[in-house]
Structure formats: structure tokens, C-alpha cells
Structure 1
Amino acid sequence: MNRTRALAKYMALLSITSVILSACGNSAPNTPAPASPEAAPVASTEQPADASTSSSTQELSTKNNSLIKHHYTEHEYNHGSEGYYNLADDVDFELTAQLSGTCWICASANAMMTAYQLDHDDKIELDQLDLLNILYNDDKEEGIFLTEGTDKEKYGGSGHFVACELSNGFDDYLVLDHAISAKNWTMDEYKDGIRKCGGLYIGIPDPASKKGTYDGYFTMNCPAPSDGDFDHSIVVLGWDDSFPKDYFHEKATQDGAWITFNSNYPLGFFYISYDTPFDQVYDTPLFLSVTDEYSKVLSHDCGPYFTEPVKTGDTTTAANVFKGKGSLSAVGTFVTSDDIDLTVQILTPDFSKCLYTQDVHADLAGYHVFDLDEPVDVDEYAVAITYPDGVPVEGQDFELDTALYTHFTSKPGESFIQLGDEWLDLSDEATWKQLGCETNNACIRALYKD
């Protein structure tokens, strides 16, 4: 790919992401709010005593929901057991309010916490402010940054940021081990994923004019969203196939709703009509999971922010050279396609000898950690992966807008790509000329168990 084509594709990505970020900041519509709007009731939930909503959140939320219509019917709906599932019935789920613009962090944290409970039959606590400080940390060497003076609690973000940053490990003992893309899945696939993988992170349309409350159920139907409608991230916890189609201010064509958790006003369960398309969301739906099974993660990269994979042919092989004595137990990387086979090799640092090889399979696009069938005792070594869909790499520095920018670093001897029998250093400008694009490090991680 030449640089002009790459830049054009980057700009297309940036225009989409600009919608993500301006939206997740919970900007309010221009419609003035009444002095004392009626509080929307929420079905079967109460705000916990420890949930705190900042004054700025309350102000924004009040404005954003001033158009919500409240309705009461003669026959209050109660769900049955058939065609109904709520993950909150199976796990210990806390209703925690977001800070002023942290819906994306709340949704990501809830997705990871529910996944951990399903996988480990135990709980972890992920604090939204702690995660926010990890992602927008000014002291890190590379990654995604906010300009000085930008309020991280209000700016917004994306689930992709979470996947890139937390897959390098966090909180001393946790690492994100999967971030599965669920874009364009069928309804049954979403349902199966929620049962098996936990809550689904998703960015949704959130126009107040499409919301309503019916007998205490907070609902929304937005069958034909536009770019300006997207300004909220939530976690999908379940579904109700019999939820009445008449319980939506924007009339639905069918019964049924997704049961989600809304971290904004009004705090609680939020029912989204099946008419609202999940394939038109602004932020890729993700199943996020974390684990405490690894003792250390080695990496030279911070994730493939806004860049495309590098391809040199039908398959492309890249390698990262690491120094770290211990038991190498897994490797992590990103893939952009479903149902693909990769080959993992552990090589000597000069690539002259193969110490271990294993074929692995990725059913779905996203970030994956692949456990090695046999741990390898290592000190200085290279992890090489052969990809059919291109090597995930860090791109070049750029400014997304006046408040957010990315910065990447790479040093000679860290990342290489194979062309024929040669291993070319990805930090070398001569390599860029041969590839036709400028890159930084390959997105390959090494995970240990001690």
C-alpha cells in the first residue's frame, strides 16, 4: 500500500472515530430543559448507596433526557421465563454510575467484570477512574494521549482504546486476554456470546426523542440512526423476546428488546428495541475478558491504533525480539478477520534456529491470547507469527483532533518483518520504502507464567 492510499484510509478511520469521541463525551442537545424535569423511573432497580453522580453528570443527563416521554398503561408488563435472559441474574452485578463522560469506561469495566465471573466463578473490582488514569496516563512512553488541560473524565473514548492498552497488563496482576469483535453478528450469535462471554460492550444511538418510560421500564428505539445520534456506550446483559413493542416512544415493528445497563441518568436497566440495528453502531461491539493467570507481559507496542495491517503476500511473517528469563506460556496478537489460522514460532534472537512451533486458530477477529501447548524456557528470544490477513502494527504519530493524539516509539532490534529470506527491521526507513508505508513495532506480546 502506498503512503497516499494509507493516508486516505487513515482519514476515513479518523472521521469515524471523531464521531466516537465527541459522542462519548455525553454532549447535550440544544433543546432547553425544563426547570424540574420528571425523573424517569427504572424497572426493578434502585440506585445503590455508593453510586455517585457528579454535578456535571447530573446537569448533562438532565438536559439530554428532557425529551423523554413517560407513559403508564392499564396492564403492567412482567416478563416470563421463555425467551428471557439477564446476565445480572447469574453474576454479582453492581449498578454503578459513570462520571461525567466515562460511559465507555463503565461499559468496558462491566463487560470485563461479568466475563471474569463467568470464567473464574469469582469477582474482581475494576474502578472506572483507575482505568481512565491507566488509559490517559501522561507518564507512559507511547499510546494515546490527551492534550494538556483536557478533562479526561469528560472527553470520551472507545472500547478499542481499552483493548489496546489493557492487553499489556494492568493493576499488577491482570491482563486483558481477549477483545472479540462482534460486528455484524446475528441476533442468535449475540445471545450465545452474552451467555458464554459476559456483557457486550457497544456504542449506541442515544437521542432523547427516541426514549421513553412505560410502567417503569426505561426504553429506546432508534431504527434509523444518524451520525449525530451516537453519544453513549453501554453493556448488553440479556434480552426479552416478549417485551411489548408498544413500550417504545418510537413505535417498534416487533416485540423484543435487549436488556442493557445504562450508567447514565436514569441509572439502571435500559431496554433497547430489536428494531435498533446493532450493525450501525459507531463503536465496534466487543466482548472483553481479563485474567490473572499470567505473571508478566512483554511488549514493544501499544496496539494498532487507527492503522491497517501490513501485507507482503498471501501470508506475512513478523517477529518481536524480547529479553526476559522465565517460562513463556502464551503469545498475544490482533487479527482483523474471522476464522483464520496462524503459525507461532519461538526463535533464537538472530532467527537462525526455531525453538518451538505451534499452529493456532482464531475463530473471530479481535485481540487473542494463544496458550502454548508446552511452555518454553526463555531468556533472549524472538516470537514470530505468520498471518494470512497481514501483520498488526503501530502506525505513525497523528493528531485526531485538538484534544487527542497518538505517539509511538520503536527502536532498532525490536520488531522485524520477513521478506524472502531476509528479516528487515521495522524501525528502519529502508524497510518502510520496501513496504510502501511507514510503521513502528509489530503488535506481538509474550506472556509468562512463573
Structure 2
Amino acid sequence: MKKILSILLILIVVFAIIIYMPRKEESEITPGAESEAALDDIIQKKLAQIEEDGLDVRIAGKSLGSFGYNIRLDEKAEILAPEDFLEDIMCCSVNVYSDGRVELDRSETELKFAAKDVQNIEEVLYIPISAYLSQLGYEVKYNLVTGMVDFTNTDGGDYLPKAYDMREHDRVTPVRNQGTYGTCWAFASLGALESISLPKEEKIYSVDHMSMNNGFSLDLSEGGEHTMSLAYLASWEGPVLESDDEYGDGETNTELTAVKHLKEAIIIDDRDEEKIKSAIYKYGGVETSIYMEMSYGDFISEYYNSDTSCYYYNGTEKPNHDLVVVGWDDDYPKENFTPEPSRNGAYICKNSWGEEFGDKGYFYVSYDDVNICGKSIVYTKLAEPDNYDNIYQSDLLGWVGQMGFDKEEAYFANVYTAENDEILKAVSFYATGPNTKFSVYVVTNYEDMSSLNGGRQQIGKGETRYAGYYTVDLKRDIELKKGQKYAIIVSVNTPGSERPIAIECDGGERTANLDLTDGEGYVSLYGEVWYSAEESDTNVCLKAFTDNQ
């Protein structure tokens, strides 16, 4: 790569010399300090331009522009890759430790970086990878003149080990005990959430707070599901620390504020084993559900082998228990299960029944279990609580239902009023299916519904690989004055969907606290004719985030 870069730079210099230097006899042109200085000057100017404009990042010639990966070049034109690119694209497991050192794993390759060798730029971790690309199964070509960098996989994409256990990499928090309450869903959600910050930071989050401050009208005995957890986290209700709101006393502190802010979560709903393993390897624990034919304190079932801590259910019952998948073993013997599945292989799962259950709280669930990973959620991006100053929202219950126009595409909008002089920094919404393409617009001087058709500015676009919850940081600041009404508009195209808009709506008893008076939302097929969401008894799931001026 250095050789290619050197040739490119030499060509730039030669071209510059030919054009700009006075004509001399060929014998008089000799390299010296001036030409070296000119070379360095051209390099630095080009790097500065790339820093401002960004690189055109490609994989095997295909642009990744819609995914927003911000590859950088340092002052020596060496590649600095952000953590999300290493995880999402290069399929690495990135483990950051409290002392700043980083361990980068891919298949059998393990790379270690001291804290001084990595960079944190605008709260994003960057790792220098130019010297290690071949070890990571990639080669790269790039053109400094055009600002294009093209990565090509060289190992066939085979990066997952046959077995992986997050416990061996300090990526799990202690096993906890739900007791007789129906709070497995909250333990699973928070166990998965806690894992994405490890091994760098261990925090134990409050299950009581999530269970009792989520906007839904359910008590501790009634159970829940991942959509409730996601709504609680996305709305900045939590998480809060367990030490500030301890479990099991039936009380909670409603004055506590979130100690982290969720920015992204992905949903996998097709039982794809490679996707599940990849998510564990790259991000952390996977929250999912099974049918558990036993209950807390009664660990006896025809589907559970207590001698080997193995579970395999092959009946017709629907899921009734949430847990966290923290690893896998492709060669785990099928003979360890009762009854015996058709093949070897199992997920390693963290339960919430205390260390008395299974192998100190963990157990194996066969790949053939009829429910395991039928629908899974992975929390992928978590930020500090000061990432934005303010949140504007009208969907505290989150993604309860969907609406649309029997088409893959749709527009949806929310109108808000700035409470102070602020700067619009980001928006968030739910992608209701994989491979959703989206564009984000703003109307800065909203007057009425007709404003949605005129004067809207595009301020972002992209594409998601999975269904889930996504925050889109805007490329430029939008200034808002106190009292100014503004509208956020998102257009989506979700392949195979007829109702691609996530909405808050009546979902039965659990949504008894639904409030339709707190929003002003609109939906449209092509962004021309708009309909009030509230007149359809719904709120649009679309949030805005601002900083104070």
C-alpha cells in the first residue's frame, strides 16, 4: 500500500513540477530540499482536503457512502478505521479496556494495541490498521487524488470461530436473580445492554426502574418484552444504576435520570445463526426468548438435562421467557440434550435465576430449539448522557404498531417547538425492516401542514442493514430560536413492507397510558398529500435531539 501511495504522490509532484516550474535543461533538474518540501506540502494539502470532504469508502468497488463510515487518514496517510467500521464491515470483535488498550479479534487473529497507539476523535475510537490488513483478511487500494479507498476481502469472509464465549473475554456482568417476579425481560434487556460497554466499563443497571418507569401499565408480575425495553431506553427514561434503585422492594425513584443514552439497536428476526453469532462477536449479548417448560425454583423438565445444563424444546408452545445469548459452540454434543436434537451445536445463554441454576447461572440451548432467536435484539451504540442537551418526542411507548399505504415507501413527520435557542443535532426513528433506505429533511419555519411540501431541506440520508432503532447525526447544524416551530421529515423505503412507519398506538391493556395529545405528526405516501397521525389515533415514532446555544 505504501508503495502505491508513494507512486501516486511522486506523479502528483512530477505533474506539478512540469506545469509550474520554469523551463530548464533536463540536466539541470535535480531533486533537493525544495522538491521534498513541495511533495510534503502537496500531501498535507490533499490530506486536509480529504479530512474536510471525507473519503469515498468502498468494499470491492461498491460505495458505502449511504452508511456513513468515517475512515480517516493520519498525517502519514495511514488508514485510521473507526470502531463501527471494524465491527460492521471488517467483522472484528473490538474489546476496549479501562486502561485504554484495545484487543482486535478476527477469526484466529488477535491484535493488541496500547492506549498510545489508538486515537479518540470526537468521542469515536480510531485504530491504525494499514500494517495489519492482511492479517485481518483484507487488502486495500486507494487513490489520494480522488479520495477513494477500496477494501477487498481476501479470506472468503470466514471470520467466526467455531466456538466463542463472552465469559472468556470479560464481556458479561454477574448473573442475577429475578425471584418470583415476571421481570426476565428486563434482566435480559439490561444484561445485553451492560455487555456492550465491557470490558472497558462495568455498570449494573436497575431492573426495578426499567420495569416500573417504562410508560406501560404493567406491574412486576405481568412480564414484558423487548419493545418495552427499547421504548424505555430510546426515550431517555433510563438506564439508571442498580445502586440507585435496588431490585425487589416494589418501589422506584421517578426522579432518577439516565446514566447512558441509547443511540442504536438492531433487531434480527429470521433465526439466522450466522447473524446471531456475528452480533455476539461484534457487539455483545443478544436478547431473545424461548419457551421454558419450568419456572424459577423448579428446575425440573423433560426438556432440561440438569447434569449437563442443557435445554432443548421441540414442542408447539410460544416463547415465555427472555434470556441473553453470550456465545456458541458448533461442536457441542447433541447427546447432552434430552430429548436429543438432530445435530450438534448450541448457544450459551445467561439466565436470571441466580447461580443455583445450570452452570452458575448459564446453560446451553440447542440450535434446534423451536423458539431460540426467533426474534432477537442487540444494543449496538450507547452514548454518555451529555451527548445531546434535549430530546423532543411524542412516543414514550415506542414502536407498538405500524402503518403505511400498502407500499414499501412512505414519508412521516413530527412537528416540534424549540423551548430555547437551540441547535438541531440529530434525529432518531425505527426502521421496521432490514435494508431500509432513508432520507431526513427539516422544515425550519413550520406554519401548517402545507409547510411540509415547501422549503424542506435534506439534511441526511442512509441505509440500515437490519430493522431496529437508529439515531442519525446531522452533517450540519440547524439553528433554532426559542418558540420556533420546526418539522422533521423522514422518507423510507423498506423492501417487502406494506406498512413501513413505526407508530405508537393502542396495543391493549399494556398501553393504557397512551397519550395522543402530546404530538403533531403526519404521514404521506409520496411526501405531497399529508394526513394527520393523531386523527388516526397514533403518534409517529420520530424524535429530535438538540443542543443549547
Question: Please, what TM-score do these two structures have when normalized by structure 1?
Answer: 0.69
Residue of structure 2 equivalent to 1:439: 537
- Say which of 185, 198, 203 aligns to 1:124: 203
Deviation at 1:167, TM superposition (A): 0.5
- Give the length in aligned residue pairs: 337
Give per-residue Cα distances to partners, 1:271-305, cap 9 Å, x unaligned.
Answer: 11122145674xx2111243223333210112455
Contact 1:191 1:238 in 2 (8 A): yes
Does residue 220 of structure 2 align to residue 153 of structure 1? yes
Q: State the alpha-carbon separation in 2 of the partners of residues 173 and 296 from structure 1.
A: 15
Residue of structure 1 equivalent to 2:312: 221
Q: How does 1:152-301 map to 2 (within 5 A)?
A: 152-170=219-237, 171-207=257-293, 208-214=301-307, 217-222=308-313, 224-227=314-317, 230-264=319-353, 266=357, 268-278=361-371, 281=374, 284-289=375-380, 290-292=382-384, 293-301=387-395
Contact 2:460 2:472 in 1 (8 A): no
Superposition RMSD in Å: 2.5
Deviation at 1:377, TM superposition (A): 2.6
Q: Relative to structure 2, which stretch is displaced further, 304-313 or 317-326?
A: 304-313
Deviation at 1:408, TM superposition (A): 2.4
Does residue 411 of structure 2 align to residue 342 of structure 1? no
Contact 2:230 2:398 in 1 (8 A): no
Q: State the alpha-carbon separation in 2 of the partners of residues 204 and 162 from structure 1.
A: 17
Query: Are residues 304 and 225 of structure 1, via their aligned partners in 2, closer, same or farther at CA, if it must alter by over 3 Å?
Result: farther
Deviation at 1:312, TM superposition (A): 7.1
Query: Are residues 315 and 251 of structure 1, via their aligned partners in 2, closer, same or farther at CA, if it must alter by over 3 Å?
Result: closer
Q: State the alpha-carbon separation in 2 of the partners of residues 301 and 405 from structure 1.
A: 11
Question: Which of the pair has more CA radius of gyration?
Answer: 2
Name the SS for the 1:157 alignment partner: coil
Deviation at 1:102, TM superposition (A): 1.0
Q: What letter is aligned with 2:403?
A: P
Q: Which runs of 5+ in 1 are unaligned?
A: 1-80, 136-142, 147-151, 429-437
Deviation at 1:257, TM superposition (A): 1.2
Name the SS for the 2:320 alignment partner: strand
Q: What letter is aligned with 2:277?
A: K
Contact 1:112 1:199 in 2 (8 A): yes
Does residue 515 of structure 2 align to residue 417 of structure 1? no
Deviation at 1:260, TM superposition (A): 0.6
Q: What letter is aligned with 1:291?
A: A
- Say which of 389, 408, 427 aligns to 2:534: 427
Query: Are residues 439 and 335 of structure 1, via their aligned partners in 2, closer, same or farther at CA, if it must alter by over 3 Å?
Result: farther
Q: What letter is aligned with 1:108?
A: S
- Say which of 111, 115, 118 aligns to 2:196: 115
Q: State the alpha-carbon separation in 2 of the partners of residues 340 and 399 from structure 1.
A: 28
Deviation at 1:116, TM superposition (A): 2.8
Query: Are residues 319 and 113 of structure 1, via their aligned partners in 2, closer, same or farther at CA, if it must alter by over 3 Å?
Result: same
Name the SS for the 1:126 alignment partner: coil
Query: Are residues 175 and 221 of structure 1, via their aligned partners in 2, closer, same or farther at CA, if it must alter by over 3 Å?
Result: same
Contact 2:433 2:466 in 1 (8 A): yes
Deviation at 1:261, TM superposition (A): 0.4
Q: State the alpha-carbon separation in 1 of the partners of residues 407 and 335 from structure 2.
A: 54
Name the SS for the 1:302 alignment partner: coil
Contact 2:186 2:211 in 1 (8 A): yes
Q: What letter is aligned with 1:425?
A: S
Does residue 437 of structure 2 align to residue 328 of structure 1? no
Q: State the alpha-carbon separation in 2 of the partners of residues 82 and 384 from structure 1.
A: 43
Contact 1:340 1:363 in 2 (8 A): yes
Contact 2:291 2:371 in 1 (8 A): no
Name the SS for the 1:155 alignment partner: coil
Query: Are residues 311 and 387 of structure 1, via their aligned partners in 2, closer, same or farther at CA, if it must alter by over 3 Å?
Result: farther
Name the SS for the 2:302 alignment partner: helix
Residue of structure 2 equivalent to 1:372: 474
Name the SS for the 2:235 alignment partner: coil
Q: What letter is aligned with 2:221?
A: K
Contact 1:326 1:378 in 2 (8 A): yes
Query: Are residues 269 and 126 of structure 1, via their aligned partners in 2, closer, same or farther at CA, if it must alter by over 3 Å?
Result: same
Q: State the alpha-carbon separation in 2 of the partners of residues 195 and 186 from structure 1.
A: 14
Name the SS for the 1:366 alignment partner: strand
Q: What letter is aligned with 1:219?
A: C
Residue of structure 2 equivalent to 1:96: 176
State, as a whole percentage, how many aligned pairs show the same letter: 21
Name the SS for the 1:227 alignment partner: coil
Q: State the alpha-carbon separation in 2 of the partners of residues 132 and 368 from structure 1.
A: 23
Query: Are residues 334 and 250 of structure 1, via their aligned partners in 2, closer, same or farther at CA, if it must alter by over 3 Å?
Result: same
Contact 2:516 2:537 in 1 (8 A): no
Q: State the alpha-carbon separation in 1 of the partners of residues 334 and 519 from structure 2.
A: 60
Deviation at 1:109, TM superposition (A): 0.2
Residue of structure 2 equivalent to 1:316: 410
Name the SS for the 1:116 alignment partner: coil
Name the SS for the 1:392 alignment partner: strand
